[in-house]
């Protein structure tokens, strides 16, 4: 019996991890392409800075769509089970990413090109909006009491692996001549994502439903309208999830997307060197997420989260100072510290922390919708706001740093208002 439980747990954790890798590989590809090529390919008739902002605007569309995905798949996940959502979200993400790689550009079909780009980006956002909740609940609800932070962090750790794969393949494609890269090379990372999607399908179709939802269904207790129930009984926790995410989400896209624009266009650095730095930092982040997730089981979710948010709020100014030295070594070090310490300490406990704030009957809806509502408010607009502030201040990044610090303060206050959840027994509701 014990061996079967361990085997089921391992399959669940693998399904959560691999699926997250694939989903975020697909999603991050778009961010890298928006920073480096989409302005030229889909908005070539407007001034370069405006073109970059337009590309980031299409990037932000995916974030606007994410709460709808969280709400829809949250309903499915709380009413019919976690497993079914994992298959559907993976299919939507993989299909839309593949089609982005097939899109004609503005030079071929005119304004239809950016319209199709926005449509596919919306589908990506809806898919990712449902993906996170299903992946983390698959890990957390299969996990044992006292180790939920560690198990949940394994799902979160798929994100830096997705970045490594996406940026690595994108970097290889960018070694082509500029003409070849803009003509067809940028499509390669999007097209080969279909292979990863097939792998994910095979793994996820063989995983079992979580024991907590299975018991809920056995007792015929699934919520009829889980999202309404969240608004009625868990509104405070929902708002705290949103506030808690602001710094983590905004800073992440500053560190991984906006930095590509700032370093290449304002500092004159090579995009390959910056992509290499992000890949190296993501490697360290993978281990940091697992470490901080396990640490949150020992000292609490709030303590770990507050460490990351405080470090971000204070450290964002030295981060940009390091970038301004134009020293590749210092820039790499700054990105490694930013992702592995400040961001990871916030991101690692989220899976368990947010899940534990809601009961099993509304957990998917509450955790997922709250998590995704923060996406357009923080991460989705962060590159646009940062690009605007940079242009307004003639290339000086200190307004951008102040903006990130304000997000940090919002998160610190939200975490202080939230209750500690690491010792809760979510199987005894």
pLDDT (tens digit per residue) in 354-377: 999 998 889 999 999 999 898 888
- pLDDT of the residue at 223: 73
Letter string b/e over residues 272-283, b meaning 16 or more CB atoms within 10 A of that residue's CB? eebbbbbbbbbb
pLDDT band at 283 (very low <50, low <70, confident <90, very high): very high
- Best CA proximity match to 141, nearest among 8, 21, 296: 8
Mean pLDDT of 173-192: 85
pLDDT band at 2 (very low <50, low <70, confident <90, very high): low
By the 8 A CB rule, do 400 and 250 touch? no
Place of tokens 């309404």: 228
- pLDDT of the residue at 37: 83
Could you give all domains of the chain from N- to C-terminal order, each with its CATH number?
A: 2-417 (1.20.1250.20)
pLDDT band at 429 (very low <50, low <70, confident <90, very high): low
User: Rounded CA gap, 345 and 349, in Å?
Assistant: 7
Distance of CA 47 to the CA centre of its chain: 30
Would the pLDDT of 197 be above 60? Answer: yes
Q: What is the pTM of this model?
A: 0.86
User: Rounded CA gap, 69 and 72, in Å?
Assistant: 5
Tallying the residues shown for the chain, one arrives at: 429
Q: What are phi and psi of 104, to 5 degrees?
A: -75, 155
User: Rounded CA gap, 228 and 322, in Å?
Assistant: 47
Neighbours of 64 (CB within 10 A): 17
Would the pLDDT of 31 be above 70? Answer: yes
- pLDDT of the residue at 218: 83
User: Rounded CA gap, 293 and 296, in Å?
Assistant: 5
Contacts of 174 (CB under 8 A, 6+ apart): 36, 181, 185, 271, 272, 275
Would the pLDDT of 157 be above 90? Answer: yes
User: Rounded CA gap, 111 and 108, in Å?
Assistant: 9
| Torsion on CA atoms 18, 146, 345, 97, rounded to nearest 10 | 20
User: Rounded CA gap, 283 and 285, in Å?
Assistant: 5
Which tokens hold the place of 65?
């769509």
Mean pLDDT of 334-339: 95
User: Rounded CA gap, 402 and 319, in Å?
Assistant: 12
pLDDT greater at residue 53 or residue 316: 316
166 burial type by CB count under 10 A (0-12 exposed, 13-18 middle, 19+ buried): buried
pLDDT band at 148 (very low <50, low <70, confident <90, very high): very high
Place of tokens 């490697």: 283
DSSP of 354-395, one letter per residue?
HHHTS-TTTHHHHHHHHHHHHHHHTTTTHHHHHHHHHHHTTT
User: Rounded CA gap, 364 and 226, in Å?
Assistant: 9
Would the pLDDT of 33 be above 90? Answer: no
> Percent of the chain beyond pLDDT 90?
37
Contacts of 318 (CB under 8 A, 6+ apart): 334
By the 8 A CB rule, do 410 and 247 touch? yes
Give 278's Cβ-side CA count (13 Å radius). Answer: 31
User: Could you read off the pLDDT of 93-118 as tens digits, one per residue?
Assistant: 889 989 999 999 988 999 899 899 88
Would the pLDDT of 233 be above 60? Answer: yes
Mean pLDDT of 316-328: 94
pLDDT band at 306 (very low <50, low <70, confident <90, very high): very high
- pLDDT of the residue at 428: 62
């Amino acid at each position: 019996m014990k061996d079967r439980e361990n085997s089921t747990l391992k399959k669940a954790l693998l399904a959560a991890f691999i699926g997250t890798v694939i989903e975020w590989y697909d999603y991050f590809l778009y961010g890298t392409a928006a920073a480096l090529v989409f302005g030229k390919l889909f908005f070539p008739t407007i001034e370069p800075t405006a073109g970059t902002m337009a590309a980031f605007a299409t990037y932000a569309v995916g974030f606007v769509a994410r709460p709808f995905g969280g709400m829809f798949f949250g309903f499915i996940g709380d009413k019919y089970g976690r497993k079914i959502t994992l298959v559907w979200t993976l299919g939507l993400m993989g299909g839309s990413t593949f089609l982005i790689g097939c899109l004609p550009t503005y030079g071929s079909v005119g304004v239809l090109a950016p319209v199709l780009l926005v449509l596919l980006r919306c589908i990506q956002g809806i898919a990712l909006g449902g993906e996170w909740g299903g992946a983390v609940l698959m890990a957390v609800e299969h996990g044992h009491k006292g180790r939920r932070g560690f198990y949940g962090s394994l799902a979160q750790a798929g994100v830096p692996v997705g970045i490594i794969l996406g940026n690595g393949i994108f970097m290889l494609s960018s070694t082509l001549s500029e003409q070849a890269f803009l003509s067809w090379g940028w499509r390669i990372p999007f097209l080969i994502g279909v292979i990863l999607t097939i792998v994910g399908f095979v793994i996820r179709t063989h995983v079992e439903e979580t024991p907590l939802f299975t018991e809920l269904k056995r007792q015929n207790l699934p919520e009829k309208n889980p999202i309404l129930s969240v608004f009625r009984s868990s509104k405070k926790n929902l708002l705290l999830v949103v506030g808690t995410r602001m710094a983590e989400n905004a800073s992440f896209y500053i560190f991984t997307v906006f930095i590509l624009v700032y370093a290449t266009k304002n500092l004159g650095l090579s995009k390959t060197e910056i992509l290499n730095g992000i890949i190296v930092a993501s490697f360290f982040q993978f281990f940091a997420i697992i470490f901080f997730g396990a640490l949150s089981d020992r000292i609490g979710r709030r303590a770990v989260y507050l460490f990351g948010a405080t470090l971000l709020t204070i450290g964002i100014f030295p981060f940009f100072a390091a970038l301004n030295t134009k020293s590749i070594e210092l820039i790499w070090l700054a990105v490694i510290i930013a992702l592995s310490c400040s961001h990871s300490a916030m991101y690692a406990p989220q899976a368990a922390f947010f899940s534990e704030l809601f009961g099993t009957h509304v957990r998917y809806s509450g955790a997922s919708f709250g998590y995704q509502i923060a996406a357009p408010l923080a991460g989705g607009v962060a590159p646009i706001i940062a690009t605007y502030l940079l242009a307004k201040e003639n290339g000086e990044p200190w307004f951008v740093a102040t903006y990130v610090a304000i997000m940090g303060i919002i998160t610190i206050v939200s975490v202080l208002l939230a209750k500690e959840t690491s010792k809760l027994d979510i199987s005894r509701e």
